[in-house]
């Protein structure tokens, strides 16, 4: 398929589409402050969809060449830090999963390790895997919200993930990693479907169905671990 002719208006519209993530983040923050977590996760879900679509759009419309003075990557990182890191950390604090002292420890680990990770220019491997836990705290903490585990499980998940931020372990990018891409995208889609079921139940004040809890747990563990398994087998580098 031929790429469309360079168009400044379209290219800038793609940047505006990316920037809309900041507004979804604002709405999520308002909901988190009001402890309306179902609504908060909905808006963060919208931001996650924007994050997943804007990159392919930018590459398709050749935005980087059309508007070289506007960094889509920097814009994306700014919004990702808010939606992937700050708001989920705040939600974990607001949730009451942990005692106040443990909440502050988790918040400090999440926001500080993530800031350092975003500053690392070596975060991607040759195969477009992330090196170290890719600060996907929105997905991890959403999974904890759905599972409602004991406080020490939630605390342990944060400690381990923060430590893995600096480990030479691969985590897949479901879209950018070519190896097993259809399977990885399928698992990500299933995670999203189970997540929607959980949000639907939360919106109506119902208990999250057991199949959704199990589904989110299994698909989440797959996405968390598959990169390391492929690395151990020598399939990615």
pLDDT digits (tens, 9 = 90+) for 148-157: 888 999 999 9
Return mean pLDDT, the chain. 92
Q: What is the pLDDT of residue 83?
A: 95
pLDDT band at 70 (very low <50, low <70, confident <90, very high): confident
Domain ranges in the chain are 1-95, 98-237
- Measure the CA–CA gap between 91 and 44, rounded to whole angstroms: 11
pTM greater than 0.85 (yes/no): yes
Render pLDDT for 73-103 as a digit per residue (tens, 0 to 9). Answer: 889 999 999 999 999 999 999 988 888 899 9
Q: Is the pLDDT of residue 119 over 70?
A: yes
pLDDT at 113: 95
Give the phi and the psi of residue 70 in degrees, each rounded to 5.
-115, 120
Average pLDDT of the residues in 158-180: 93
Torsion of CA 202, 37, 113, 81, to 10 degrees: 110
Burial 191-230 (b: 16+ CB within 10 A, else e): bbebbebbbebbeeeeebeeebbebbbebbebbbebbbeb
């Amino acid at each position: 398929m031929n790429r469309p002719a360079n168009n400044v208006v379209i290219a800038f519209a793609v940047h505006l589409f990316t920037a809309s993530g900041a507004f979804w983040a604002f709405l999520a923050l308002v909901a988190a402050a009001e402890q309306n977590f179902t609504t908060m996760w909905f808006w963060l879900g919208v931001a996650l969809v924007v994050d997943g679509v804007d990159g392919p759009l930018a590459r398709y419309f050749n935005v980087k060449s059309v508007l070289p003075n506007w960094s889509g990557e920097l814009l994306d990182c700014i919004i990702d830090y808010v939606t992937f890191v700050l708001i989920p950390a705040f939600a974990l604090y607001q949730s009451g999963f942990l005692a106040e002292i443990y909440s502050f420890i988790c918040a400090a680990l999440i926001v500080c390790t993530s800031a350092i990770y975003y500053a690392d220019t070596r975060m991607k491997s040759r195969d477009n895997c992330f090196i170290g836990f890719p600060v996907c705290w929105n997905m991890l903490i959403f999974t904890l919200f759905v599972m409602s585990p004991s406080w020490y499980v939630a605390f342990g998940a944060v400690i381990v993930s923060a430590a893995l931020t600096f480990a030479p372990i691969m985590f897949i990018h479901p879209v950018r990693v070519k190896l097993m891409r259809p399977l990885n995208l399928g698992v990500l889609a299933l995670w999203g479907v189970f997540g929607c079921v959980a949000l639907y139940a939360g919106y109506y004040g119902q208990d999250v169905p057991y199949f959704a809890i199990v589904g989110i747990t299994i698909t989440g563990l797959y996405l968390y671990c598959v990169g390391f398994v492929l690395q151990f087998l020598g399939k990615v580098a």
